[in-house]
Amino acid sequence: MKFLLLFIMSICFSSVVSANEKTTVIIGHVITQTIQGNDMDHSEILTNELKSITHQFTLSLMETLSRNLPVILDGVSSTIRLEVDDLYKCSLQGDYQNKDCR
């Protein structure tokens, strides 16, 4: 049962990662060891695969973030400018304050 679960998860992950030789070799090794009746720690294999996928995802995320950082910072700075402007306008109104300053 564990083998079937591991095999299905490996196929799912390999399509997400766009299957490469490493994934193919690991799946082949698991199948070979299971057919030969050798005991394997399937959870360790799955853990290592998840670590690899997480690493690849993190690298991709960092690349995307670094590419889009100027746009993100422009959006944050404009939002902060608007909030500061509103605070300043409200501070100038004195006793009378419109509905936006309450």
Q: What is the pLDDT of residue 11?
A: 61
Q: What is the pLDDT of residue 28?
A: 83
pLDDT digits (tens, 9 = 90+) for 33-53: 888 888 888 788 888 888 888
- Beta carbons within 8 Å of 2's beta carbon, 6+ residues apart: 42
pTM above 0.85, yes or no: no
For residue 34, how far is the Cα from the chain centroid? 32
pLDDT digits (tens, 9 = 90+) for 10-22: 665 555 545 568 7
Lookup: tokens for 64: 């995307």
Q: What is the pLDDT of residue 80?
A: 93
Print burial letters for 76-95: b (CB count within 10 Å at least 16), e (below 16): eeeeeeeeeeeeeeeeeeee
Across the range 76-95, mean pLDDT stands at 86
